[in-house]
Amino acid sequence: MLPANFHKQLVEEGFCYLDMPLTLKQQIVRLFDLTADFFEMPQAQKSKISWVDVMTGYRSIGIEYSATPDNPDLNESFSYKNVEEKRVFVDNFLYAREFLNQVKTVYLEMDKIATEVIVHLAKQYTDNARHIHTDLHSWLQLNSYRPHMHQREFLQDEHEDGHIVTIITANQKGLELRGNKGYHNVKGSLDELVVMPGELLSLLTGNDIMPLHHRVRNHSDVKLRMAMMYFCNPNTNEGPLMPWVENDTNKGVDIIARATSNPSRYGLPVL
């Protein structure tokens, strides 16, 4: 499903669109419905599926990706990391089981796309890359914004995510990409996915592909914006990860250690 010029676009534009497979679109539409239902539950029920020591779980409006703690990101979110599945697939959370099942279904589908992306990119640089499994320490995140309730210019300050890639779709406008040729506004459609390179991909490619900075603009005419991100990370229990291209930019960098610590840049638990 990758476009023929996928690698070239990542290098030259800084990002790349993918067509959304129809089956996956249907699964995400269902997931967004279930997510909306979940976020409408009483705060007490949502807060039960919430922890500070793991990525998985519900978060109310918080400081993730914000440049300063007094400028919090204006979204509530739910994250799911597969290695933490035992936290959520327990009888205590049967009231959210349909939602959780759909989260995991979409997680596994998104991981197939992420794997295709990584295998394709590795081949552009080397024939000897070890396979990078990503089905444990990646996480799927669902964000819900109510832009019309806020005055701020940006719902999320500019940042890069710090993963191998982030693969994102959203049902509304707002995402702005600082590509290599200037800012690009993503229109927001479930008919497309956007692949956004992160710092780990820069380390793997010796800075041939650079991290994509992005932000979320507040549009006061949007009542509800839902976004789904697959934050793709290498499994951290499969030994060291050597760069596909080694040069001065990545010499001696432990990519697994960087992957592990990067979420702490945003006040999140390490991998």
* Binding stretches for Fe ion (CB under 5 A): 161
Cα gap 150→155, rounded to integer Å: 8
Nearer to Fe ion, 20 or 229 (CB): 229
Nearer to Fe ion, 186 or 241 (CB): 186
Q: Which residue is nearest to Fe ion (CB)?
A: 161
Residue 134 main-chain phi, psi, to 5 deg: -135, 15
CB of 119 to Fe ion, least distance (A): 24
CB of 166 to Fe ion, least distance (A): 6
Q: Are 181 and 187 in contact (CB under 8 A)?
A: no
3-class secondary structure, 150? coil
Q: Where are the beta strands (DSSP E) in 61-220?
A: 76-81, 139-145, 154-159, 165-170, 175-179, 182-185, 192-197, 213-217
CB of 232 to Fe ion, least distance (A): 13
CB of 28 to Fe ion, least distance (A): 18
Nearer to Fe ion, 100 or 117 (CB): 117
Q: Where are the beta strands (DSSP E) in 111-152?
A: 139-145
Q: Are 170 and 227 in contact (CB under 8 A)?
A: yes
Q: Are 196 and 212 in contact (CB under 8 A)?
A: yes
Nearer to Fe ion, 76 or 161 (CB): 161
CB of 228 to Fe ion, least distance (A): 12
Question: Which residues neighbour 1 within 8 Å (Cβ) at sequence distance 6 or greater?
Answer: 18, 19, 21, 113, 116
Cα gap 106→94, rounded to integer Å: 19
Rounded to a whole number of angstroms, the distance between the first and last alpha carbons of the chain is 29
Nearer to Fe ion, 35 or 143 (CB): 143
Cα gap 190→168, rounded to integer Å: 10
Nearer to Fe ion, 66 or 244 (CB): 66
Q: Pairing mode, if any, of strands 57-59 and 213-217? A: unpaired
CB of 214 to Fe ion, least distance (A): 6
Nearer to Fe ion, 161 or 208 (CB): 161
Nearer to Fe ion, 67 or 94 (CB): 67
CB of 229 to Fe ion, least distance (A): 7
Give all strands of the β-sheet with 154-159 in edge-to-edge order: 154-159, 213-217, 175-179, 182-185
